[in-house]
């Protein structure tokens, strides 16, 4: 029986058979054995020989290495994707653990190859990198040498890899399974994490208030394990950073993102200096909602009440039309995700919260994961993840070692996709109320992506330092730091209640990828600058943009974006994006007198 509030996404489940037909697929078992055999043969052929190889032979070795990485990535992708849609299934949890153990074993067998490459003197390495025979691996070789000062001896690297399986990786899995199994009782209904969080976007303030309380109670009930996970992973990262001699907790992430410490600091300072923009917007939204006081559970309230849910098919058409309007190939690729069952959109018990696009391996294709509930923000999330998906699909031609991008530019295609959908929707509206509702929703998302993520970076920075200086932190200390880093964003425009104190504890980025969050702000501001360039440059931009996506991670981010007319090394770059946000707020302020939404 179809529920009254059905969106059609309830039946949208992905088909992972392009990876494997199931855990009982004979090829799945065969690949587990094959990848180890290939790694053993690789070691027998190349151990203690890298320095003596010719560039031609080194290119051959890199090709063989890529094959091994691809098989392992295929196995890992299948296990992880299967588990995230049902974290309560023990057999799927077991599969994730087994692939983590296999990946660690493989890493131990192959680490010699990376270390021998890094042991080459700079002059020899530079000559090799420039050789035509190694052109297909050039940027991979360039970026791998950034880690040279922080690599350990082979035995030490093997120990760290082996211990991570029962250390950090195990705690990440425990965190996900704890939240995946969590249930929240709301007005007699048992809800998952995604479902209770969705209530915070309800038009009825009483629903939002109650949902906030229920969610907080749920987090409080999990306070002990969640606090322990945070403490353990913070300590684990401190140990690794100390062993590798990283100068600060964020260094490893900045290297992976191919961005300088100075650029990150400049981004943080630019965004925090514009916190008053957030407060200006929420004062406007308070008027639109007709509130005397705005609280944290009001931040994402829709300003247009009684809005019907957007069905899955309509959401699909909106996104595909916007993508096709930008470039036919973009629309064609995005449509394949729907036609060929590369998306899992249903909200289901045991399913992990949030959304992501998994690149899997170049020989297959990406898969999109989300929890679709029919809100406008879900349409934007669909556009966001399909932006990732198109990017990952196009960049497959770079091979497994260069198809992925650093997190800073990884968010470019996703946020650009959101912008295409937003602008298409905005252009189709004449009614001031509808226009205002859409514009406010977009500003909500932009503030969450830029300002909230940087405030979370400030929280993350503080807790890493506090854990290193003060030792294990009680949950109250995490909450204290959380409130101290969140209040400056909102000033007196939003009242943060005591309920909000525990809301640091469910955010997966702190656990999965320490240091990740500033990349969202980077990507959003980059896209705002790119979109301005697109509006000014005519149709030539569209082709260049698609070519940039095809290049994946085969070049430095500043080189890739320079071809589109944006200089991310220029400090004024951040200001361009922040000014674009201010312009959206100004547009909403100018629209205010003509709308009726401000009436209580």
Q: Quick one: which of 488, 493, 559, 567 has its CA closest to 526?
A: 567
Model confidence at 386: pLDDT above 50: yes
Query: Would you give the DSSP letter of residue 179?
Result: H
Task: Look at the block and give the residue holding tokens 């679709």.
Answer: 372
User: In this predicted structure, which of 194-203, 230-239, 590-599 has the lowest mean pLDDT?
Assistant: 590-599
Confidence category of residue 194, pLDDT binned at 50, 70, 90: confident
**Residue 10 vs residues 311, 330, 346, 371: alpha-carbon distances, Å:** 11, 26, 4, 9
Query: Would you give the DSSP letter of residue 70?
Result: H
Q: What is the pLDDT of residue 1?
A: 35
> How far, in Å, CA of 412 to CA of 366, rounded?
17
Q: What is the pLDDT of residue 552?
A: 95
Which has more pLDDT, 408 or 440?
440
Domains of the chain listed by start with CATH number? 18-166 (1.20.140.70), 173-305+449-512 (1.10.1370.20), 312-433+518-572+588-594 (1.10.1370.40)
- As a whole number, mean pLDDT of residues 432-452 equals 91
Q: What's the whole-model pTM score?
A: 0.86
> How far, in Å, CA of 425 to CA of 447, rounded?
19
> How far, in Å, CA of 115 to CA of 59, rounded?
16
The torsion angles phi and psi of 455, rounded to 5 degrees, stand at -65, -35
Q: What is the pLDDT of residue 600?
A: 39
Q: Tokens in use for 259?
A: 């961005």
| C-alpha torsion sign, points 281, 283, 288, 293 | positive
Model confidence at 287: pLDDT above 90: yes
> How far, in Å, CA of 129 to CA of 320, rounded?
40
The torsion angles phi and psi of 323, rounded to 5 degrees, stand at -65, -45
- As a whole number, mean pLDDT of residues 98-108 equals 94
> How far, in Å, CA of 215 to CA of 196, rounded?
7
Question: DSSP 3-state assignment of 20?
Answer: coil
CA-angle at 322, arms to 320 and 302, nearest 5° = 100
SS3 breakdown of the chain: % helix, strand, coil, rounded to 5? 70, 5, 25
Q: What is the pLDDT of residue 418?
A: 92
Tens digit of pLDDT for each residue in 26-54?
999 999 999 999 999 999 999 999 999 99
Model confidence at 547: pLDDT above 90: yes
Q: Quick one: which of 378, 354, 188 has its CA closest to 302?
A: 378
Which has more pLDDT, 381 or 306?
381
> How far, in Å, CA of 113 to CA of 40, rounded?
12
Q: What is the mean pLDDT of the chain?
A: 93
Q: At what angle do helices 376-394 and 432-447 cross, to 10 degrees?
A: 60
DSSP result, 190-212: EE-HHHHHHHTT-S-HHHHHHHH
User: In this predicted structure, which of 17-26, 161-170, 496-505 has the lowest mean pLDDT?
Assistant: 161-170
| C-alpha torsion sign, points 568, 571, 576, 578 | positive
Question: DSSP 3-state assignment of 277?
Answer: helix
Query: Would you give the DSSP letter of residue 450?
Result: I
In sequence order, the 6+-apart residues with CB closer than 8 A to the CB of 161 are: 104, 107, 108, 111
Tens digit of pLDDT for each residue in 387-399?
999 999 999 999 9
Confidence category of residue 304, pLDDT binned at 50, 70, 90: confident
Q: Quick one: which of 165, 129, 169, 168 has its CA closest to 146?
A: 129
The answer to whether the beta carbons of residues 254 and 264 sit under 8 Å apart is: yes
Model confidence at 4: pLDDT above 70: no
Q: Tokens in use for 103?
A: 């990946």
The answer to whether the beta carbons of residues 409 and 560 sit under 8 Å apart is: yes
Give the Cβ contact number of residue 593 at 10 Å. 8
> How far, in Å, CA of 401 to CA of 403, rounded?
6
- As a whole number, mean pLDDT of residues 578-583 equals 94
Instruction: For the chain, give the longest Cα–Cα distance.
Output: 77
The answer to whether the beta carbons of residues 113 and 65 sit under 8 Å apart is: yes
> How far, in Å, CA of 347 to CA of 140, rounded?
38
Q: What is the pLDDT of residue 597?
A: 66
The answer to whether the beta carbons of residues 367 and 338 sit under 8 Å apart is: no
The torsion angles phi and psi of 523, rounded to 5 degrees, stand at -65, -40
Tens digit of pLDDT for each residue in 110-158?
999 999 999 999 999 999 999 999 999 999 999 999 999 999 998 999 9
- As a whole number, mean pLDDT of residues 403-422 equals 90
Model confidence at 599: pLDDT above 90: no
């Amino acid at each position: 029986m179809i529920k009254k509030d059905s969106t059609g996404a309830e039946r949208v489940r992905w088909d992972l058979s392009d990876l494997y037909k199931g855990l009982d697929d004979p090829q799945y078992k065969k690949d587990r054995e094959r990848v180890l055999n290939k790694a053993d043969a690789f070691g027998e052929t190349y151990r203690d020989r890298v320095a003596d190889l010719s560039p031609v032979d080194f290119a051959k070795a890199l090709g063989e290495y890529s094959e091994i990485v691809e098989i392992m990535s295929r196995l890992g992708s299948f296990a992880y994707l299967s588990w995230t849609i049902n974290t309560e299934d023990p057999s799927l949890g077991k599969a994730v653990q087994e692939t983590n153990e296999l990946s660690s074993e493989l890493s131990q067998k192959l680490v010699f190859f990376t270390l021998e490459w890094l042991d080459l003197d700079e002059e020899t390495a530079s000559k090799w990198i420039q050789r035509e025979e190694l052109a297909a691996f050039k940027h991979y070789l360039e970026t791998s040498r950034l880690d040279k000062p922080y690599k350990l001896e082979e035995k030490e690297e093997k120990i760290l890899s082996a211990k991570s399986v029962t250390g950090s990786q195990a705690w990440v899995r425990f965190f996900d399974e704890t939240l995946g199994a969590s249930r929240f009782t709301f007005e007699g209904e048992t809800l998952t994490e995604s479902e209770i969080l969705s209530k915070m976007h309800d038009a009825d303030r009483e629903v939002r208030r109650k949902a906030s309380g229920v969610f907080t109670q749920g987090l409080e009930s999990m306070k002990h394990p969640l606090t322990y996970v945070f403490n353990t992973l913070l300590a684990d990262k401190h140990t690794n950073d100390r062993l590798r001699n990283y100068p600060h907790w964020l260094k490893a992430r900045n290297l992976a993102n191919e961005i300088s410490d100075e650029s990150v600091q400049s981004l943080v300072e630019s965004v925090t200096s514009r916190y008053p923009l957030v407060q200006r917007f929420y004062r406007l939204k308070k008027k639109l909602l007709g509130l005397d006081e705005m609280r944290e559970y009001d931040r994402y309230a829709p300003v247009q009440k009684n809005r019907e849910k957007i069905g899955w098919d309509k959401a699909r058409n909106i996104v595909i039309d916007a993508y096709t309007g930008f470039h036919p190939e973009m629309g064609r690729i995005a449509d394949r995700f729907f036609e060929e069952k590369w998306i899992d959109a249903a909200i289901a018990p045991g399913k992990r919260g949030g959304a992501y696009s998994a690149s899997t391996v170049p020989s297959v294709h990406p898969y999109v994961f989300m929890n679709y509930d029919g809100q406008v923000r879900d349409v934007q999330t669909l556009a966001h993840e399909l932006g990732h998906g198109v990017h990952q699909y196009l960049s497959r031609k770079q091979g497994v070692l260069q198809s992925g991008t650093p997190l800073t530019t990884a968010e470019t295609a996703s946020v650009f996709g959101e912008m295409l959908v937003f602008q298409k929707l905005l252009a189709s509206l004449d009614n001031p109320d509808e226009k205002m509702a859409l514009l406010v929703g977009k500003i909500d998302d932009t503030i969450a992506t830029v300002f909230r993520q940087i405030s979370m970076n400030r929280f993350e920075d503080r807790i890493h330092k506090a854990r290193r200086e003060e030792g294990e932190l009680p949950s109250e200390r995490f909450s204290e730091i959380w409130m101290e880093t969140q209040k400056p964003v909102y000033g007196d425009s939003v009242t943060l209640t005591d309920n909000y104190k525990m809301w640091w504890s469910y955010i997966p980025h702190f656990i999965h990828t320490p240091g990740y969050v500033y990349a969202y702000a980077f990507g959003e501001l980059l896209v705002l600058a790119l979109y301005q360039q697109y509006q000014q440059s005519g149709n030539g931009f569209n082709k260049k943009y698609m070519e940039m996506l095809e290049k994946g991670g085969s070049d430095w981010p500043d080189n890739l974006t320079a071809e589109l007319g944006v200089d991310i090394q220029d400090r004024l770059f951040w200001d361009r994006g922040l000014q674009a946000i201010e312009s959206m707020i100004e547009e909403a302020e100018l629209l205010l007198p003509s709308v009726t939404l401000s009436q209580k």
